[in-house]
Amino acid sequence: MSTFRRVVRTRALVALVAALVLPASACGSSDDDGFRATATVAADHPVALVAEPDGSVLYAERLSGDVRRLGADDTPDPDPVAHVDTVGSESDQRGLVGLARASGGELYATWVRADDRRLVVGRIDGDEPVVIWEGPASSDLANGGTLLVAPDGRLVVGIGDLQQDRALADDPTVANRKVLSLDPAGPPSQTPEVLSTGWNNPFALAYDDEGVLWVADNSPGDQPERIGRGDAPAEEATDLPTDEGEAAPSALVALGGGHLGRCGFLTGRLDAVDVRDGTPRLEGLVVAEPCRTGAALRSDGRIVTAADDQLIVFG
């Protein structure tokens, strides 16, 4: 199966996205369908992919609590980069769920702490993890936890509804259904800044090349999925069509030029999203397939996606 499945008729759009994310030498001939998988690497429940400046990619193993590295040459490092004690299972959304690298080299993560099942954020590049925020008690589903470093150096984390009363979105004292900003040097008891509220499970987050924060929100069941700015209320987000079924967004990745890639846990693909005019819309183009639990754009323009038990390199 082609890994860059064209679902629109115009070749111009295919060429546009390929040019945004691949160097010219990697695009192949004009008869090519586009991206093709160049490597597949076994991985244990990989999530939270982070592209490093040297071309390698960090990823979290959700259930083991290990952070691992896929080298720039697509060779996995046998030794974990970091580890946290976490708890999770095949049937829930707990575990090590978020990962972010600061400009100074600090490595941060979001995980469900093993001893009390609380969702926490901490720095994990030392001998022992240092918690900087003790978040809410975790739930089987809709925890959120995706972590980013903002342009100003603060940390951004999305928290889902935690399977609780949806009216908690209006309560500024709880984390439910919000995108939050954290001080990376703060104490575990710090009070996060609320960037936006009203989301269902804002698990997919990304800054675009203009520094705008975007959220791909999961549907609560009978409502449409949506994408909106992370600094605006969720009610202002754009509903996205689900003609082919829900995507269950698991990751967003900035592709450049006002385009994002949305990884769908249910669709199993990375779909192109145009955000150039501030109103997100699906472009009808599959950038890479499969993609279920994460995606990253490498420094050399190649894309790495994650499925249940593997990492896939496209180039």
N residues, the chain: 315
Sheet with 294-297, edge to edge strand ranges? 37-42, 310-314, 303-306, 294-297
Q: What is the pLDDT of residue 6?
A: 33
Question: Can you give the pLDDT at residue 139?
Answer: 97
Residue 14 main-chain phi, psi, to 5 deg: -60, -45
CB atoms near residue 130 (< 10 Å): 13
Give pLDDT, residue 17.
53
Q: Tens digits of per-residue pLDDT, 2-59? A: 333 333 323 334 444 555 554 433 333 333 455 789 999 999 999 999 999 999 999 9
Helices first, then strands: H and E counts in the chain: 1, 24
Please name the residue that has the structure tokens 């990751």. 251
The whole-number pLDDT of residue 2 equals 35
308 and 301 Cβ atoms separated by less than 8 Å: no
* Residues 6+ away with beta carbon under 8 Å from 126: none
Of 53, 52, 70, 73, the C-alpha closest to 61 is: 70
Q: Determine the pLDDT at residue 32.
A: 45
Radius of gyration for the alpha carbons in the chain, expressed in angstroms and rounded: 18
Count of Cβ atoms closer than 10 Å to residue 227 Cβ? 23
Predicted pLDDT at 171: 97
Q: Sketch the domain layout of the chain as residue ranges.
A: 11-314
- The two tokens of residue 107 are 């490595």
d(CA 138, CA 6): 39
pLDDT at 236: 97
Q: Domain 11-314: give its CATH architecture.
A: 6 Propeller (2.120)
pLDDT of residue 20: 54
- Where the chain has pLDDT below 50, the residues are 1-16, 22-32
Element (H, E) at 133: strand 130-137
pLDDT computed for residue 222 by the predictor: 73
| Residue-level pLDDT at 23 | 45
How far from each other are the two terminal CA atoms of the chain, in whole angstroms? 15
> Pairing relation of β-strands 82-83 and 66-70?
antiparallel
Count other C-beta atoms under 10 Å from residue 281's C-beta.
Answer: 15
